[in-house]
Chains A and B, each alone.
Chain A
C-alpha cells in the first residue's frame, strides 16, 4: 500500500490484526511501527527477522522512509532526520495509529529517538537497535580496523571523508560484510530496493548535523536499547554515550557479545527480548 503524506507517497505494509476476537470479547493489540536502517535500505530487512515474530503479540506496520524502498524518492534536500520525523507523524495521524511502539534500527532508531523526544506523548514504547546519538566517524573507523584489519579501517575512513559512488562501492565491498558476524546473506541484500544516493547523502551531509544528546532526555516512554558489541558502523562507545543521555529510569540496555550492526541476525535471542517488551505495552 501507499499513502499520501505531505508531498510524498509512502509505501507501507501491514501484518497481523489489531483487533482480535477472543472467546469472550476482543483483544486490542499494540501496533509496532518498524523503521528500517539506512538510509538507502528498506523495510524488507525486517520481513525475515523481527516482523513475523511480533505478529504473535502485535500488529506490525512496515514503513519505507521517504527516499527509500518503494516510497517516493523526493529529493536529497528533504533527506533529513526532521523530514523523516515529520513524515512519520503525518503517517501515524493519517492512519490514526495512536500510542504505537516505535522500533528503529540504525538511522531508523535515530528517527524514533527524535520523534519520541519531540512528541513524547505519542509512542508507548521505543525499541532501539544499534542506535547512537551522533555519528563519530573515528569510532567507526577504529571498530572497522579492529574487526576487519587496517584495510577495512582505511576504506571506511576514505568513504566517510568523501562519500561518493566510488568510495561507497569500495565500502560496500570491504566494510558491509563486517556489519554482521555471521556474514551477509546475499538473498537479504537482493531483496532490498537500495538507494545508494540516500546513504551517501546521509554520511556526507545529514549525519554531520545530527546530535541527539541534548534532546533525548525529553523521552517519556519505556526504552529497550539493543547493541552488538562488535558493531563497526555504530560502534559501542557511541551506543554507551546515547545510553548515558537517555532517561535512566525508563531504560533497559542489552549488549550482545559477538553481534554486529544486525543484532537480530547475529543474536536471535534479542528478538525474544523485543517480543516480551512489546507484549508489555498491551
Chain B
C-alpha cells in the first residue's frame, strides 16, 4: 500500500492483524511502527526477524521513509530528520493509529527519538536499537580501528571527512563489513539503495544532528537493545542516549554489531515481551 502524506506517497506494509478473535471478543493488539535504519535502505530486512517475532503479539506497521525503498523520493532538501518525523506523525494520523509502540533501529533511532520528544504522548513505548543522539566521527573512526582494522578505520575516516562517490566505495568495502557482517549486508544492501540520499545525508545532517537535548522530553517507557561491537554507532554514543532518557531499561549484547537481533537473537524475545506487557 502507498498513502499520500503531504507531497509524497509513502509505502507501508503490515504483519499481523490489529483485532484478533479471542472467545466472544476481538482482542485489540498494539501497533508497532518500525522505523528502519539507513540512510538509503528500506524496511525489508525487518521482515526476516523482528517483524515476524512482533507479529505474534502486535500489528507491525512497516514504512519506507521518504526517499527510501518503495516510497516517493521527494526533494533532496526534505531528506532530514524533521521531515521524516513529520511524515510519520501525519501517516499515523491518516491511518488513525493511536499510541503505537515506536521502534527505531540504528539510523532510524534519530527519527524515533525526535518523534518521541516532539510528541511525548504519541508513542506508548519506545524501542531503540543501537541509538545515537549525534554522530561523533572521531569515536566511530576509533571504533573501526579497534573492532575492525587500520584499513577499516582509514576508509571510515576518509568517508566521514568527505562523503563522495569515491570515498563511499572503500567505506562500504572495507569498513561496513564490521558494521553488519556479510549475511546481514546481503539483506540490507540491495540494488535499490538510494546512494544519493546516503551521500546527501552524510554530507549534511549527519554532521550537525544532536538530539541530546531531545532525550529529556521523552516520557514513553523506553527499551534500548544495544550491541557493543557496532563501530558506526559506538558504545559511548549509545550510553549517551541511555543517560539522557528518563524511563529507560537497557540490555547490552556482548559482541553484537549493528543488527542486534541478527547477532543476538535473544534480543527478539525481550523486545516482544516489552511490547506485549501492559
Contacts and interface: CB of A to CB of B under 8 A. Distances in A.
Interface of A: 1-4, 9, 13-21, 26, 31, 44, 47-48, 51, 59, 62, 94-97, 186-187, 190-191
Contact of A15 (B17, B44, B48): B17
Interface stretch (B8-16, B147-155, B159-167): B8-16
B203 interface: no
B70 interface: yes
Nearest to A187: B24
B24 A191 contact: yes
Contacts of A94: 3-4
19 contacts: A1-B96, A3-B95, A13-B18, A13-B59, A14-B14, A14-B59, A17-B14, A18-B1, A19-B44, A19-B47, A21-B187, A47-B17, A47-B19, A47-B26, A95-B2, A96-B2, A187-B24, A190-B24, A190-B25
B15 A9 contact: no
B205 to A, nearest CB: 28
A244 to B, nearest CB: 37
Given A19-B70, A21-B47, A1 B24 contact: no
Contacts of A19: 13, 44, 47, 70
A2 B92 CA distance: 10
B213 interface: no
A168 to B, nearest CB: 22
Contacts of A13: 17-19, 59
A280 to B, nearest CB: 22
Bin the interface of chain B by size. 20 to 34
Interface in B130-185: none
B185 to A, nearest CB: 14
List of 5 A-B pairs having minimum Cβ-Cβ separation, nearest first: A190-B24, A2-B96, A96-B2, A14-B14, A15-B17
A62 B17 contact: yes
A18 B187 contact: no
A17 B13 contact: yes
B6 interface: no
Contact of B15 (A17, A26, A51): A17
Contacts of B95: 1-3
A44 to B, nearest CB: 6
Given A13-B59, A48-B21, 6 more contacts: A1-B96, A17-B15, A19-B44, A21-B44, A21-B187, A191-B24
Given A13-B19, A21-B45, A44 B26 contact: yes
B20 interface: yes
B3 A95 contact: yes
A151 to B, nearest CB: 29
Contacts of B19: 13, 44, 47
B23 interface: yes
Contacts of A4: 94
Nearest to B24: A190
A19 B14 CA distance: 9
Given A1-B97, A47-B26, A95-B1, A20 B47 contact: yes
